[in-house]
Amino acid sequence: MWQVIINPSAGNGKAGKQWNNIEAALNKANISFKVHRSERALHCTEIAKLLIEKGSKKLIGVGGDGTNHEIINGLMQQNTVSTNEVVYGFIPVGTGNDWVKTHHIPRDITNAVAIIKEGRTTLQDIGLAKFYRNKKPDQRYFVNVAGMAYDAYIARESNKQRTNALSYYLLIFKCLFEYVNKQARLILDGKEVANQHFYTINIGLCKYSGGGMQFVPHAEINDGQFAVSYVNSIPKLKVIASTHYLYGGKIAKFKDAELFKAQHIKVEAVEDAPTLLELDGEFVGETPAEFEVIPKALKVIIAS
């Protein structure tokens, strides 16, 4: 039996409103399931962890990128079975839905359920991030993209309020003129590649973030490496004029951007000015931060 974990608040409440349609689609596809509803922040993590510890090996997430992030952390935190023994499907009803874009999982409920029914799977790498939050060490797993500097500032402000697609883009514009670039050291596989002020740093397992942008178009889901990119500290008006490079995978053509691949990453603060960090769109903390790849840790259902 499938265990369905839904965050009713995802997509500004869209997930909860769509549940009757989702339930009908699952029943029509003859998928046997039990539903579990999250009631608070990080509750999806607790639910997923408990379900697997009780023997469940078939999970379906319903929500957005934040819901997905929480469920994956529950999967990774349990010690009962190997994580890639759990089959994971997802029905996207959030706001951004960036992670599913890499796996071509549609937003149409009927089609997303049909993909789960078909059951084609692949293995994806997972990232482990170690960082500081409120001056204390913390850690969390991520499945899509880790964003630092300006991207994390946007995530922090976005997490404070309910946003839709329009208000999110307005928030991006507002944050651009508020954020002050911080200096940091970027160390890839033991080698320092930059010590400067950054506009953004992105560390990706999948290609899309920020509502469809591609800071890491060179990401591969299971090559055992992170795709890394950074953009130099550039004038704010130049950021606006260069936005087109972030769509369609064109960032490599942007002269102020650098792209790399690495298995182990460190980002360290310079002169006691920490750089902010978000994981899968969720603001989590700040530098010093360290990232490592856990190869092929997730068995996810994908489109054919």
**pLDDT for 52-66, tens place per residue?**
999 999 999 999 999
* pLDDT surpasses 80 at 162: no
* pLDDT surpasses 80 at 76: yes
Does residue 137 have a cis peptide bond before it, meaning omega lies within 30 degrees of 0? Answer: no
pLDDT of residue 104: 95
Residue 242: which residues within 8 A CB-CB, separation 6 or more?
234, 254, 256
Residue 278: which residues within 8 A CB-CB, separation 6 or more?
146, 147, 148, 151, 152, 154, 155, 156, 284
Other Cβ atoms less than 10 A from the Cβ of 93: the count is: 26
Residue 241 is assigned to a structural domain of this protein: yes
* pLDDT surpasses 70 at 172: yes
pLDDT of residue 45: 98
Mean pLDDT (the chain) is 94
Instruction: Please give the share of the chain, as a percent, with pLDDT higher than 70.
Output: 98
> Kind of pairing, strands 282-301 and 121-133?
antiparallel
- Torsion sign across C-alpha atoms 148, 154, 156, 158: negative
Describe the crossing of helices 10-28 and 109-118 by its angle, rounded to 10 degrees.
Answer: 50
Model confidence band, residue 29 (pLDDT cutoffs 50, 70, 90): very high
Q: Which 3 state secondary structure label does DSSP give 139?
A: strand
Q: Which of 59, 90, 119 is the last residue of a domain?
A: 119
Is the pTM for the entire model greater than 0.75? yes
**260 in the same domain as 192:** yes
Domain that holds residue 48: 2-119
Model confidence band, residue 201 (pLDDT cutoffs 50, 70, 90): very high
> Kind of pairing, strands 276-279 and 282-301?
antiparallel
* pLDDT surpasses 80 at 220: yes
Total count of domains within the chain: 2
**91 in the same domain as 136:** no
The tens digit of pLDDT for each residue in 113-122 reads 999 999 999 9
- Torsion sign across C-alpha atoms 107, 108, 114, 118: negative
**184 in the same domain as 278:** yes
The tens digit of pLDDT for each residue in 231-256 reads 999 888 888 888 888 887 899 999 99
Residue 196: which residues within 8 A CB-CB, separation 6 or more?
183, 184, 232, 233
292's enclosing H/E stretch is strand 282-301
Span between the terminal Cα atoms of the chain, in Å? 23
Residue 301 is assigned to a structural domain of this protein: no
pLDDT of residue 271: 80
Q: Are 282 and 155 within 8 A, CB to CB?
A: yes
**161 in the same domain as 282:** yes
Q: Which of 119, 136, 165 is the last residue of a domain?
A: 119
